[in-house]
Amino acid sequence: MPDDVTALSRRSLMMAGGATLVGLGSAAAQGAAGQGTPGPERPVDTGKVENGKVTFPNWRGPSDRPAPPPPAPLPPGERVGFAIVGLGRLSLEEILPAFGECRKAKAVALMSGSPDKAKAVAAQYGIKPEAVYGYDGWDALARNPDVKAVYIVTPNAVHRDQVIAAAGAGKHVLCEKPMAASAAEARAMIDACAQAKVKLMIAYRCQYEPHNREVVRLVRSAKYGKVKLIEATNTQTMSLPEQWRLKQALAGGGALPDIGIYCLNGVRTLLGEEPVSVQAQIHSPDDPLFREVEETVAFTLRFPSGALALCSTSYGAHETRYLSVQAEGGAIQLQNAFAYEGQRLFVSHREGKAEAREERVLGAKNQFALEIDHMATCILENRTPRTPGEEGLQDQILMEAIYEAARTGAAVALKPPERVVGKGSKDTGDKEQGGKGLDLTRGPEPEEAG
């Protein structure tokens, strides 16, 4: 090739390349300055805004799970402010950290009987010093406009008085399980909140956890036929005799109301039915730990559909938190069902001539954040919580029947729930008076978390 042609070609290429680089640099500069978009609009990468939320189309192939939508938290000023009442292990290890994952709620106040601890915790979470109260500070808390709801996280026997005080202060209430130390106390709590026209929700976190919800969906869909047997086990060991859970006056009982309630509430939630009879046995060893409360309880619930639930709980057995459902055409096992994390869901069924056992993998989510955000949603949208006071009351009534069955050694017949959730309201689902229908003591399904 002649030298002049070669030179021309090189000059042309350099000029073209330089122009391209200049053009790209200019476009990038415009994009950085917000004056334009570098290149053509690509919604698959840039997304779009719908109802104040950024959404993206699914970019994964059909063999992979779609990516969840990006978080869409409310602006901090629009989130529901909570006061946390009680700063024990659960509040400090789980609940307060969970507010960091909440999208609709924020921690704005504390109430504690330990001023030094409350002051330290308030500093850690950016809570104003003037929003820290003692247990006698309900009048001052009532005047705090930032507090829309309280989360009661104290020993069972003081729930009633604190819920009534919160209702009197005009604040909505999220109360830890068990709801109270007796059914009579639970009734008083429901009445106080109804009179004050504030919402009352019981913190049954497993009803908001994705794996537990998937088990409920599978059972209710009847995909594997009619349920015959449910097994639920929740056990752990205890070691400190001074712990409040081992004091009858504070706990109202031992393993049953503390961890056995997960089995009781779990099987009721699975079926949506209420049991018609219960049998039970209780055993406690000759051990100073169990002078006031029971160690081990086993109970069997019979449901109208014919399903039997075999439940066991103990303060003296290695930690096991397991749920199993045996239906006509398949079996469902949920490992770590009642734990804070680590759930694994397996389904077994016939696949042609083979027995298939598959794991259903779901994204892990913070159960406490999910339940707190659900309460916030109910406040913002004036909805009935999925787990209102009626749900907690029903478990209190059933636990009293379990203790009675163990005491007498005979089966105890159970009546339909004495209080059902708002017949006729638009968000209560299939409910009827007289004990018929499903989910009589529950509000509508919780919203799906992204």
Terminal alpha carbon distance of the chain: 64
Q: Is residue 403 annotated as part of the catalytic site, yes or no? A: no
Residues 6+ apart with CB under 8 A from 56: 44, 47, 67, 69, 70
Q: Is residue 423 annotated as part of the catalytic site, yes or no? A: no
H helical segments located in 257-409: 261-271, 367-381, 389-408
Which burial class, exposed, middle or buried, applies to 97 when counting CB atoms under 10 A from its CB (0-12, 13-18, 19+)?
middle
Residues 6+ apart with CB under 8 A from 192: 163, 164, 167, 168
The one catalytic residue in 262, 315, 322, 403 is: 262
The one catalytic residue in 106, 148, 171, 177 is: 177
- Residue 443 CA, chain-centre distance (Å), reads 14
Q: Give dist(CA 190, CA 183) in Å, integer.
A: 11
Nearest C-alpha neighbor of 346 from the set 355, 358, 338, 336: 358
Nearest C-alpha neighbor of 423 from the set 433, 438, 437, 435: 433
Nearest C-alpha neighbor of 336 from the set 235, 204, 256: 235
The catalytic site residues sit at: 177, 262
